[in-house]
């Protein structure tokens, strides 16, 4: 099964005059989106749409990635001292 078939439809939105959209209530509940939350907007993998991700999740993912990269660098410098 391709990745696109795993996507779920969560509702629809209309772009308003000022470029704003309203995220459907069910999607906001499911993903814990609250008034004032910061959302980062990314182009989808194949450029067919947009991805919305809470900013706090992006910073956490980046922090985890940096930690993992540090471990890789350490392991390559000291292959006898590899830690998990």
Domains identified in the chain, total number: 1
Domain that holds residue 45: 3-79
- 19-46 pLDDT, tens digit each: 999 999 999 999 999 999 999 999 987 8
Question: Is 73 contained in some domain?
Answer: yes
- Global pTM exceeds 0.75: no
The answer, yes or no, to whether residue 1 has pLDDT greater than 50, is no
CATH number, domain with residue 51: 2.10.260.10
Question: Is 64 contained in some domain?
Answer: yes
| 75 neighbors 82 (Cβ within 8 angstroms) | yes
Question: Is 84 contained in some domain?
Answer: no
| 13 neighbors 22 (Cβ within 8 angstroms) | yes
Token output for 78: 């000291």
């Amino acid at each position: 099964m391709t990745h696109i078939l795993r996507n779920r439809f969560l509702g629809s939105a209309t772009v308003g005059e000022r470029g704003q959209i309203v995220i459907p209530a069910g999607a906001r509940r499911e993903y814990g989106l609250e008034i004032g939350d910061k959302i980062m907007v990314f182009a989808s993998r194949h450029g067919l749409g947009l991805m919305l991700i809470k900013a706090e999740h992006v910073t956490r993912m980046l922090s985890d990635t940096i930690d993992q990269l540090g471990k890789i660098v350490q392991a390559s410098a000291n292959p006898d001292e590899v830690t998990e």
